[in-house]
Amino acid sequence: MMYINSSVSANNLLRTGGTIPPVHKQKNFKQSLIQSAAKVFCLSEIEKEHLANKAGLSFHADKNFNLYFKNIIEKSDKSCREIYEDAQVSERMFYLIKSHRVPAKTTLIAIAIALNMNIDEIETLLQKAGYVLSESIAFDMIVKRLIKNDKRITNRLIDMNAVLYDLGFPLLMGREKNTKVSKNGD
C-alpha cells in the first residue's frame, strides 16, 4: 500500500505536473509556496509563521539543529545503536542526521519516541528542525494525542504505528514505512 502525504494539496500537485515531491523535498517545496503566498498577500512575519504552522512547518528552525541533536543523543542513557534500532531508522541515516542532515518529520518523531521524550521535548526538537505538530493536520494531531496519552515506555512506537496503520496514515518508521503492523504489535 502506498501512502500519500495528505498535507500536499491538489493545487500543489498540478503545479508539479501531478507528481508528489520526494519526502526530503516536500519541506522545501511547502516553504517556497508559503513564501510566495506571504508575498502575494503581504503577510507579516507572524502571519507567515502561522501559515507555515498550519502546514506543519516553522520558519524558526535552528541552524545548529545537528549540534542540538548530538547533545540530546549524548545525554541519553541509550547507545546510538539502541536509539536507531528502537526508532527503526537505518544506521546510515542516523549518523547523517548527527552530522548534517535534517530528517523527515516522521523520522524525527520516531527517534524522539525511541529516546522516551515527552511532548514538550518533542515539540522543541521538531521546532529546531523546522517542523511543528500542526493543529490543522490530522496525522499531527493523532501523533500528538498518542504521545500525550501514552505513559508506557515499552513498545510505544509499535503501538503508535498500529494505530496509525489502522487509520490509514503513514507510519513513524525510517526504514519500513509501508510494513504492515498487526494490532498486537507482532
| Domain assignment present for 182 | no
| Domain assignment present for 186 | no
Query: Is 131 in the same domain as 94?
Result: yes
Q: How many H-runs (helices) and E-runs (strands) does the chain carry?
A: 10, 0
Q: Quick one: cell of 15?
A: 503545479
Residues 56 and 132: beta-carbon distance below 8 Å: yes
pLDDT for res 21: 54
Q: What is the rounded CA–CA span in Å between residue 20 and residue 26?
A: 8
What pLDDT, in 10s, does the model give residues 16-72? 555 555 555 677 888 888 889 889 989 899 998 888 888 888 888 888 999 999 999
| Domain assignment present for 116 | yes
Report the number of distinct structural domains present in the chain: 2
Query: Is 120 in the same domain as 157?
Result: yes
Looking at residue 61, the DSSP 8-state letter turns out to be: -
Query: Is 158 in the same domain as 71?
Result: yes
Residues 131 and 104: beta-carbon distance below 8 Å: no
What pLDDT, in 10s, does the model give residues 105-125? 999 999 999 999 999 999 999
Q: What is the rounded CA–CA span in Å between residue 151 and residue 118?
A: 9
Domain of 41 in residue numbering reads as 10-54
| Domain assignment present for 115 | yes
Query: Is 42 in the same domain as 71?
Result: no
Distances (CA, A) of 22 to 4, 16, 97, 104, 130: 11, 11, 18, 11, 17
Q: What is the rounded CA–CA span in Å between residue 101 and residue 11?
A: 29
pLDDT at 98 over 60: yes
Q: Quick one: cell of 98?
A: 548527527
Query: Is 123 in the same domain as 32?
Result: no
| Mean pLDDT score, 158-177 | 81
Distances (CA, A) of 183 to 120, 124, 167: 28, 30, 12
Helix (H/G/I), strand (E/B), else coil: 11: helix
Query: Is 27 in the same domain as 109?
Result: no
